[in-house]
A and B are shown apart, each in its own frame.
Chain A
Amino acid sequence: MNTDLNTTSKSDTQKKSSLYRTVWRWHFYAGIIVAPFLIILAVTGSIYLFKPQIEQVLYQDLYEVTPLGEKIPASQQIEEVKRLYPDAVITKYRPGENETRSSEVSLTLQEESLTVFIDPYTGTSMGKLNDNDRIMDKIEEIHGELMIGTLGDRIVELAACWTIVLLVTGLYLWFPRKKPNMAGILFLRWNKGKSILARDLHVVPAFWITAGMIFLVMTGLPWSGFWGNNFQTIVTNTGAGYPPSVWVGNAPVSTVTKDIAEVPWAAEKLDVPASEIQGFIPLSVDDVVQIAKREGVHPSYTVFIPREPTGVYTLSAFTPKAEDEITMHIDQYTGAVLTDYRFDHYGFMGQVIALGITLHKGTQFGLINQLVSFFICLGMILVALSGFYLWIKRKPKKSMGAPKSTSIKNMKLFLVVLVGLGILFPLVGLSLIIIFLMDMLLIQRIPFLKRFLSA
């Protein structure tokens, strides 16, 4: 058995061994660059997985109410919030999915987003939460964009794409070259010394979680800012994806565009003709709640309040299970259902992406789902750390300790794979171009760098 990282099988042909070294070299550098991000993603991901349980504990006082007769109409609950925050703009209303759940009124006030929790039986406020103080939102922000916005989003996306490169190269390096002997491939070798164990602690768990990691990367990518948005747009355009406005694209507009009631400006007298004041007025949110009930919208929905005269009421529920999802747009004047997009109405790819998202978040199958994903995260951390250890162990003081480079021109197949990945994931392609340019313009011309990077 000889797949140790610092030797190559002697029986391999020269060509094969140089291919092995090239793949290893790519794996080596990609690993060093990507590993820190993978650890960040795995740590934040494994916390975020348990968001439902964590928030249930954190916000118990804001979430739980004691049922007491009939619920007060939504419009009155919103009135109460307007009374408490006269200068606020109400943006959302969430009625609460069951008898013991408070309702939520979201608002913006001086550039801040607040959520006020209302006891729907008494109509009183139970407290408020500033969106900036939601710890799970922070975790999500780190996970999705390292808390630095678009640049962070692209970095995470790049790390995710390069993870695929790592997995592909890693699998090649892992692939048994001699007679199959499962030790060191599928099982750890505990009694062969420290360095064998260190190597096995990288290779064996990495193999076991490869499928899970590919799954997490592929299900996470569709919600990334660059690749994800373009991918979603392409898929939606074919008719096989999410219908427009669920992920990409705009909501329809309210059909009533004329005959909307105008309001007089002066309180003392009518300064506009009576006929201008006559006309359609926006639907009450109570009617919207009624429509949601009538149409069988999943009870965990949120109502987005229209802000423009042409806007619509949007009912949206992104439920733990993908098959309960719904995005519904309602004409704000007539109450007509303009679009009714549920899981069943998604195209095939849309359904796959939606399921991927709920599986990625660990909500689709509840606790089992969370635990499986959690173990994949732990595995990722272990693999990243053991990989880092393997590097430190072999790193000479004056260089990176990378495998010697061979000209990529001799590696037709490998080049094709890289270019393929570069086209499929343009950010990888872009980073490849930058690597080639840096290699050509800097590394090959500066002796110290060339030596340091074993280029």
Chain B
Amino acid sequence: MKNLFCLAIIVLFLGGCSLKEDVAELYLQEKPLHAEVTLPESISSREQVPLKVILTQDGKRVEEVDSLEFEFWKHDDFLHATSEQPIKLEAGIYGTTKKFDSDGLYYLKIHASNDGSIIMPQIQVVVGELSNSELEYLQKDVQEKEEGHDHHH
């Protein structure tokens, strides 16, 4: 009796309990929208650039998205942001072409919503050559992240 008791306790102490891997399935689950963006390897200014996004949700391509918009702006110039309505290219793939007026660092923000999930991923786009100030801006980010890393060893 006492031995059994001992054993039970040792098992509890050493093993403890662990969560089942798929335990989240027992509770409320969301169906987050997922975006995959295709950009050309290199982009030059003043030429038509194809931009595509593949939208998936719940493991399936999103056939007819509820709403979708591409928003563009140049680094440090959010006030002059422009929007475009991509069109459906094939099932789950939406796209547009975009002409960037000058070289530099751009942002593309995709506003999409479907079946209760709303997403707004932001993509950094490099057009032609970056200016020194843009490089410095990107570099500043690196420093912060590196320092951050150091503190968490």
Contact of A249 among B23, B42, B141 (CB under 8 A): B23
Contact A336–B125 (Cβ < 8 Å): no
CB distance from B110 to the nearest CB of A (A): 9
Is B142 within 8 A of A264, CB to CB?
yes
CA distance in complex: A26, B115 (Å): 62
For the complex, is B80 an interface residue (Cβ under 8 Å from A)? no
Residue of A nearest to B125 (CB): A278
Q: Are A334 and B9 in contact (CB under 8 A)?
A: no
Least CB separation from B111: chain A residue: A335
Q: Are A433 and B120 in contact (CB under 8 A)?
A: no
- Asked if residues A334 and B123 are in contact (CB atoms below 8 Å), the reply is no
Residues of chain B lying within 8 A (CB to CB) of residue A243: 24, 26-28
Interface assignment of A223: CB less than 8 Å from any CB of chain B? no
- Interface residue ranges of B55-73 to A (CB < 8 Å): none
A284 to B120, alpha carbons, bound, how many Å?
10
Contact pick for A334, options B8, B41, B107, B121, CB 8 Å? B121
Q: Is A186 an interface residue, CB under 8 A from the partner?
A: no
Q: How many A-B residue pairs have CB under 8 A?
A: 169
**Chain B residues with CB under 8 A of A333:** 121-122
Q: Which residues of B contact A110 (CB under 8 A)?
A: 151
Task: Judge whether A244 is part of the interface by a CB distance below 8 angstroms.
Answer: yes
Total number of A residues with any Cβ neighbor in B under 8 Å:
66
Q: Is the CB of A230 within 8 A of B124?
A: no
B90 on the A face (CB < 8 A): no
Q: Does A337 contact B (CB under 8 A)?
A: yes
Cβ-defined contact, A279 with B32, below 8 A: no
The interface residues of chain A lying within 8 Å CB-to-CB of B27 are 239, 243-244, 339, 341, 345, 347
CB closest residue in chain A, given B11? A426
Q: 1/0 per position for B133-153, CB-CB distance to A under 8 A?
A: 001101101101101100110
Task: Known contacts A255-B32, A423-B8; decide if A264 and B139 are in contact (CB<8 Å).
Answer: yes
Name which residue of chain B comes closest to A337, CB basis.
Answer: B30
Taking CB atoms, residues of chain B closer than 8 Å to A264 are 135, 138-139, 142
Would you call A280 and B122 a contact (CB within 8 A)?
yes
Question: Cβ of B16 and Cβ of A337 under 8 Å apart?
Answer: no
Q: Give the residue name and chain of the B residue nearest to A430 (CB).
A: B9
A436 / chain B contacts, CB cutoff of 8 Å: 2
Q: In the docked arrangement, what's the CA distance between A233 and B23, Å?
A: 10
Looking at A111, A233, A278, A337, which has the most chain B CB atoms within 10 Å of its CB? A278
Chain B residue nearest in CB terms to A429:
B9
- Chain A residues lying within 8 Å of B29, measured Cβ to Cβ, are 339
Interface segment, one of A115-123, A189-197, A268-276, A363-371? A268-276
Interface size class of B (residues with CB under 8 A): 35 or more
CB distance from A440 to the nearest CB of B (A): 10
Which chain A residues (87-102) contact chain B, with CB distance < 8 Å?
A: 87, 89
Are B119 and A336 in contact, CB atoms less than 8 angstroms apart?
Answer: yes
B 25-45 contacts with A by CB, 8 A? 26-30, 32-37, 39, 41-43
A68 interfacial contact with B, CB 8 Å:
no
**List of B residues within 8 angstroms of A281 by Cβ:** 107, 122-124
Which listed residue (B17, B33, B36, B123) contacts A233, Cβ 8 A?
B17
Q: What is the bound-complex CA distance between A89 and B16, given in angstroms?
A: 34
B40 to chain A, nearest CB (A): 8
Q: Are B23 and A237 in touch, CB under 8 angstroms? A: yes
| B107–chain A nearest beta-carbon distance, Å | 8
CB within 8 A of A267: which of B18, B37, B135? B135
For residue B123, which residue of chain A has the nearest CB? A280
| A87 with B147: CB separation less than 8 A | yes
As a 0/1 sequence over residues 340 to 353 of chain A, the CB contacts with chain B under 8 angstroms (1 = contact) are 11000101000000
Which residues on the B side are within 8 Å of A338 (C-beta)?
Answer: 30, 32
Q: A residues bordering B, Cβ < 8 Å?
A: 82, 87, 89, 108-111, 229-230, 233-234, 236-239, 243-244, 248-249, 252, 255-256, 259, 261, 263-270, 273-275, 277-281, 283-284, 287, 291, 294, 307, 331, 333-341, 345, 347, 419, 422-423, 426, 429-430, 433, 436
